[in-house]
Amino acid sequence: MKFLALLLATTALASAGAIEDPIGYIRQELAAGKTSIAVPAGVYRIEPQGDVYLELRDLKGVTIDFTGVEFVGLVNARMFDIADCTDLTLKGLTMDFDPLAFTQARIVEVDAEKSWTVKIIEGYPTEGIGNGGSCWPIQAYGKDTLELVNPMRFQDGIDVVRIDEDTYRITGGQNRAGEVGDIAVFSCSNNPKGNRSSEAVLSKSCVNLRVEDFTIYGTPGGYAFKEFGNTRTVYLRCKIDRRPPETDPVQRGLKRLRSGNHDTFTCKCALVGPQIIGCTARYHGDDCVNISGFYSLVTESAGDEIRILARMYYGVFVDAGDTIQIMTPDGQCPPDATVVSITPDGERTAADKAFLDTLKLWPGIANGYNGAFRVKLDRNVSLPKGTAIMSNNQCGDGFLVKDCTFGHARARGLLIKASRGVIENNTIEDCWSSGIQVSTEYEWMSGGCSNDLKISGNRFSGNHSWAIGVSGKSGEGNPLPANSHRNIAIIGNTITDSRLGIKVEGCTGLEVRGNKVDVTATEAYYGLLLKNVADVAQEDNAVTTAAPPPDTGDRANKE
């Protein structure tokens, strides 16, 4: 089964210029002070030393050229771990894993509870399959179309149990759609530490990191590209997609239906947001692009001082001199304030823990809020307990997403919670959630509201929710009021064959102009829906919804 893979590896190492240990070669060149490194072309089957294949630390002005190189990771572990680098350029690499961090199985039986009995297809992993949580996301693709018919089967007692060497039973889950003959795809790992949080490329606190012409056919289990606290990362012509059978070195009974298991481009708490240009993200397990910051929670407020609980994950993400967004539990967004100073106030208390337990946060999120701080502001405030604050300097502002192709994913094309950004000339198709979602997510403690955002010239087709949605919910679960998002321009976009068109809820300073909207929903307001908005300018929008069904006199048909 792996003969072709071994043959390719042997051929690569025998080719002119190929080397035995490309990772060791890079380390050697860096140790020698080289700033321009070209890895000899070849297909390299490699194993990590420890938990990571290659660590890059404190580099300045270095370029590593992988043109003509393919890395095939033999362990589902992080390929690149990059930190504190400035002007680092990586280019030209193709990346894959063998075994894959997911498996594919044909549904051979569906019982009355819509539990699946599945049989692993030849060429896909039969080992490393744990319980339902570690198998996330569990999906089903149609037997005829080989496109998603169940984007995510999870929660409600989901479990995956082995009943034979190549046969498993999948039970529980909210969405249980899937028929005999459909293809179940779910995550697995040959890494004993698990793989759900393993990224192909992780970068932290880097300035002007540049990643060019990377092609990723499989992640080690988590994200393709994930960054924390970076400043203006450039992703140029990078691609994550399912590998076509004609280039797959492993013979399989059916072509790959998934690329990566999680988001493609995830940017957290950037000082300046990423520049994603000419990239492709398709057939992966979650969002194509996710740009956001972390909220901190107010527990006390008196005069010009507040006490906050912070998500202690690579830092506090609020610094002296930062301006902060403020969102009260009912969704009101008063004017920004400036942080004068921030000082530690110990760890969270039992009372803090009890308070966190009252909030409707996603499971596990509250556990990260284990540090307390006193924050002095430039003015007096009176903020209710549970108010969310976030630094405007550390949420990805100044991002650009341009000339990209996204879709065929279970979640969003773009999930944006940053400001002063541009989203233009992208193609977004067949996302099971919104094509572009500009939204806070209090339940994830992820924000914030977006200001000065331009969404223009994008093309949408086949999306299952709003093609463009600007909205969010407060901590109390209410829709956002008009003073939330500000100065949003939605101009010249084309929406066809999607279920819903454009929705904006909670915005002041809105421009909606020159959009062409043709959706399958029958109600007119699903073409263009504006709610809780102020200072709106709209013109030259062509909105068409599907014709209502004919009146046959059948009451059931009307309902």
End position of a domain, from candidates 187, 212, 228? 187
Domain co-membership, 12 together with 70: yes
Joined together, the tokens standing for residue 302 give 């008196």
Helix (H, G, I), strand (E, B) or coil at 428: strand
Confirm whether 557 is domain-assigned. Answer: no
End position of a domain, from candidates 330, 361, 389? 389
Confirm whether 202 is domain-assigned. Answer: yes
- pTM for the complete prediction? 0.93
Domain co-membership, 136 together with 180: yes
Residue 551 binned pLDDT confidence (cut-offs 50, 70, 90): very low
Identify the residue whose tokens are 């040959």: 190
Whether 308 contacts 375, CB under 8 Å: yes
Q: For 533-555, what is the mean pLDDT?
A: 74
Domain co-membership, 81 together with 199: yes
Cis-peptide into 448, omega within 30 deg: yes
> For residue 558, is pLDDT > 90?
no
Name which of 254, 118, 247, 248 is nearest 188 in CA terms. Answer: 118
Whether 420 contacts 455, CB under 8 Å: no
Whether 381 contacts 404, CB under 8 Å: no
Segment 365-405, tens digit of pLDDT: 999 998 999 999 999 999 999 999 999 999 999 999 999 99
End position of a domain, from candidates 347, 371, 389? 389
> For residue 417, is pLDDT > 50?
yes
Which of the two residues, 131 and 263, has the higher pLDDT score?
Answer: 263
Confirm whether 437 is domain-assigned. Answer: no
What pLDDT sits at residue 130? 80
Q: How many other C-beta atoms are found inside a 10 Å radius of the C-beta of residue 116?
A: 27
Domains in the chain, number: 3
Q: Which residues pair with 211 in a beta bridge?
A: 90, 235
Domain co-membership, 140 together with 88: no
> For residue 429, is pLDDT > 50?
yes
Q: For 49-70, what is the mean pLDDT?
A: 96
Domain co-membership, 306 together with 369: yes
Confirm whether 380 is domain-assigned. Answer: yes
Q: For 520-531, what is the mean pLDDT?
A: 87
Domain holding 177: CATH number?
A: 2.40.10
E strand or H helix that includes residue 60: none
Domain co-membership, 177 together with 303: no
- 56-93 exposure pattern, b = at least 16 Cβ within 10 A, e = fewer: beebeebbbbbebbbbbbebbbbbbbbbbbeebbbbbb
Domain co-membership, 211 together with 356: no
E strand or H helix that includes residue 122: none
Joined together, the tokens standing for residue 55 give 């660590």
E-strand stretches of 295-448: 296-302, 305-311, 323-327, 337-347, 369-377, 388-391, 400-402, 405-409, 414-416, 422-424, 427-431, 436-439, 446-447
Domain co-membership, 52 together with 65: yes
Confirm whether 282 is domain-assigned. Answer: no
Domain co-membership, 183 together with 316: no
Domain co-membership, 305 together with 352: yes
User: The domain containing residue 125 runs over which residues?
Assistant: 102-187
Q: For 187-202, what is the mean pLDDT?
A: 82
> For residue 518, is pLDDT > 50?
yes
Confirm whether 447 is domain-assigned. Answer: no
Confirm whether 347 is domain-assigned. Answer: yes
Domain co-membership, 122 together with 138: yes
Name which of 402, 405, 154, 117 is nearest 259 in CA terms. Answer: 405
For the chain, give the percent of residues with pLDDT over 90: 85
Domain co-membership, 209 together with 357: no
What pLDDT sits at residue 197? 56
Separation CA 150–CA 509 (nearest Å):
38
Confirm whether 522 is domain-assigned. Answer: no
